[in-house]
Structures are given as C-alpha cells and as structure tokens.
C-alpha cells in the first residue's frame, strides 16, 4: 500500500492509520542509518519552521531544531514573550500570518485547542510538540525504540505506571492501540484515563487486535511485561499537586522489585524525560542495563526528522 502524507499535520496519532505510522517508523530507521553513516542531505533547503514554545523543552526543541537545520532549513524559536499568540492577537490571526511566511509550525504548550487552531487557520503542516492532552511525537520515538529492541510492535506488552490520565498515558494508549500492542495502564483509581478516550482506543484496538487494560495493582499489571514506562508524577503546570501525587503514586514507583515482577529478564524501561530519580523511578533502574531511555531520547530526533520529511516533501 502506497503511503503519502505530504501536507499533513500531526496533532494526535488518532489521525494516522497503522500503515502511516509504520511508514513513519521505517523512514525514521532510514534517517537514523543516514545519521550513523554521516550522510548529509539538504532536503529542507529554502524552507522555514516556526517553533512556538509556551512550555520549556530540552528534547523537543533540540530534536526539531537540529533535524530541520541539518537538512538545510531555517528553524525559528518563538517563545510567548516573542510573539502575540493569544495576547494582543488571536491565535487564528497569528496562524494566518505564520502560514503566509513559514512552511511548517511546531507548537509546544498547554491547550490542545491551540495547536488545532494553528493547523486549521495556517494552511501549513503543524506538529504537536506537546499539549496537556497529547504528546504524539514522543510516542513515535517510543514505538521506534520498542521496534528496535524486539523487532516488532504487534503483541508487545507495554505497561504505563503512574498518572493514567496524563498526556503520555493518553498518547501511548493511542499508539499501542493503532499498532496492535498490549497496553496496560497501572494507576490509582483517582487517576484513571478519561472514559471517552478509552472508548475510542478500545474501538481502534478491536480493529487492530490490540489489547487495552486498566489494572490498579502494580504487581499484577507488570506480569509478563516487555516494556515498563513511567513519567513524572506532576506534569508541567501541576507543581502545586506534587504532594498529593506523591501520596497517590508512591506504590507505582518503578524499582528493581517492579522490574523483577515482570518475570522477564529482557524487559526494558522507558521514560519520556526529564525524570525525577528517586520518585517515579529509582536511580538503579533508569541507569541500569534494562534502561533504553537514552536511545529513546535520541530517537526523538530521527522520528521528528522523518515526520517532517514525509509531510513537507
């Protein structure tokens, strides 16, 4: 099946078919091989990428900026102190202006509605670099890392430990459902995923033979897991809830006991980073031999470069 996603935005992976995601992962592997071999292209020569940041970033900024510049393009960093986004100028008007001047837009911020408005009114591809609801470019890197490790995605069991309604839990549920994986959210009942998204993902899973479960008991959840994934206990903008989250999520810390409870020596550990070592994950696990977080972080760049190649050329 021929795949053509030129001109498409990426707001959430719900908008992409399993075939399109597989295409992006294959292209990401090609881009990574080129990087290892020091093969240089100038595929974005003459193109400009606007990068809008409401939230701070390490991996997302580095991945987009270096990927675009290495291909001969011009990335422009725009914080909310630099432009009028939603202040003296409406988001719709900012989008229209950007669409006349740049070839693509990356947005990292709070509201999903903002990135959707940018895509609707700009007329150019828009990439969701993180909102409070979704983080699709991170999940592309996660899927790539899992595929590199196990040689497949279908049937792989990935367990997310922690806040079951944060943007990573949401986006991993979508990605795993699309790719026929076995996805488990292990979280306290107070932090279960939103019902409407869960229903949507279960519908996707019924078509792809994926399996989605919500299991409160962390020991039971990780039995037979191939991948254990976690995230910080309080996301950006939720710092005031840190003490409450520590109380609720302490039983969901990823530690040696949890890793051993999988019953598999080949289980890997993933984290979207940044990590608070000693809270959601112990130092021994994230720095241990089962951790693949640094490969995962590198793969942000390769998957983002592949996404932009596929949608801009």
Domains recognised in the chain with CATH numbers: 13-134+297-312 (3.40.50.1370), 136-294 (3.40.50.1370)
CA quadruple 177, 154, 16, 90: dihedral sign: positive
**So what's the pLDDT on residue 218?**
98
Using the structure block, give the residue that is written with the tokens 């596929």: 310
pLDDT band at 292 (very low <50, low <70, confident <90, very high): very high
Q: Give the pLDDT score at 80.
A: 86
The residue among 14, 1, 2, 16 whose CA lies nearest residue 307 is 16
pLDDT score, position 88: 81
Q: Confirm if 212 and 183 have CB atoms less than 8 A apart.
A: yes
Residue 81 neighbours by CB under 8 Å, 6+ apart: none
Whole-prediction pTM value?
0.97
Q: Print burial letters for 28-61: b (CB count within 10 Å at least 16), e (below 16).
A: bbebbeebeeeeeeeebeebbbbbbbbbebebbb
CB 293 within 8 A of CB 130: no
Residue pLDDT, tens place only, 233-257: 987 667 778 889 999 999 999 999 9
pLDDT number for residue 185:
98
161-183 burial: b if 16+ Cβ within 10 Å, else e: bbbbbbbbbbbbbbbbbbbbbbb
For residues 71 and 233, what is the distance between their CA atoms, to the nearest angstrom? 36
pLDDT of residue 238: 73
Answer with the residue of higher pLDDT: 258 or 240: 258
Are 215 and 157 in contact by the 8 Å Cβ rule? The answer is no
Identify the three-state secondary structure at position 228: strand
User: What does each C-alpha distance from 51 to 94, 100, 126, 300 come to in angstroms?
Assistant: 13, 15, 10, 16
Cβ atoms of residues 300 and 58 within 8 Å: no
Q: pLDDT tens-digit profile of 202-229?
A: 999 999 999 999 999 999 999 999 999 9
Proportion of the chain above pLDDT 90, given as a percent: 93
**What integer pLDDT is reported at residue 210 of this predicted model?**
98
Q: Under 8 Å CB-to-CB from 174, ≥6 apart: which residues?
A: 12, 13, 14, 134, 136, 139, 197, 201, 204
**Residues 6 or more apart from 152 whose CB is under 8 A from it?**
none
Quote the pLDDT of residue 285: 98
Q: Check: CB of residue 72 under 8 Å from CB of residue 45.
A: yes
- Mean pLDDT over residues 40-57, rounded? 96
Work out the average pLDDT over 90-108: 97
Whether pLDDT at 121 is above 90: yes
Residues forming the active site: 108, 135, 138, 231, 272, 300
Q: Mean of the per-residue pLDDT values for the chain?
A: 96
pLDDT of residue 40: 94
Residues in the chain: 313
- Output the CA torsion 163→180→130→8 (10° steps): -160
Please say if the pLDDT value at position 173 is more than 70.
Answer: yes
What pLDDT, on the 0 to 100 scale, is given for residue 1? 60
């Amino acid at each position: 099946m021929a795949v053509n996603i030129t001109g498409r935005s990426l707001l959430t992976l719900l908008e992409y078919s399993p075939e399109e995601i597989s295409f992006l992962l294959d292209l990401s592997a090609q881009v990574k091989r080129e990087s290892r071999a020091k093969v240089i292209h100038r595929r974005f020569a003459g193109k400009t990428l606007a990068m809008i940041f409401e939230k701070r970033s390490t991996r997302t900024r580095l991945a987009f900026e270096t990927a675009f510049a290495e291909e001969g393009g011009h990335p422009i960093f725009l914080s909310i102190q630099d432009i009028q986004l939603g202040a003296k100028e409406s988001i719709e008007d900012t989008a229209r202006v950007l669409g006349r001047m740049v070839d693509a837009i990356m947005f990292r911020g709070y509201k999903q509605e903002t990135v959707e408005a940018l895509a609707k009114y700009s007329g150019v591809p828009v990439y969701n670099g993180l909102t409070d609801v979704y983080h699709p470019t991170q999940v592309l890197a996660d899927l790539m890392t899992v595929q590199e490790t196990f040689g497949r995605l279908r049937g792989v069991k990935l367990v997310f430990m922690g806040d079951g309604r944060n943007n990573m839990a949401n986006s991993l549920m979508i990605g795993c459902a699309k790719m026929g994986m076995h996805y488990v959210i292990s979280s306290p009942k107070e932090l279960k995923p939103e019902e409407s998204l869960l229903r949507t993902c279960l519908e996707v899973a019924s078509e792809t033979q994926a399996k989605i479960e919500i299991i409160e008991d962390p020991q039971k959840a990780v039995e037979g897991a191939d991948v254990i994934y976690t995230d910080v206990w309080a996301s950006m903008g939720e710092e005031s809830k840190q003490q409450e989250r520590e109380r609720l999520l302490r039983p969901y810390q990823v530690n040696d006991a949890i890793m051993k409870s999988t019953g598999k020596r080949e289980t890997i550990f993933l984290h979207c980073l940044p990590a608070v070592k000693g809270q959601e994950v112990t130092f021994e696990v994230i720095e241990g031999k089962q951790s693949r977080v640094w490969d995962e972080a590198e793969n942000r760049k390769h998957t983002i470069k592949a996404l932009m190649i596929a949608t801009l050329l």
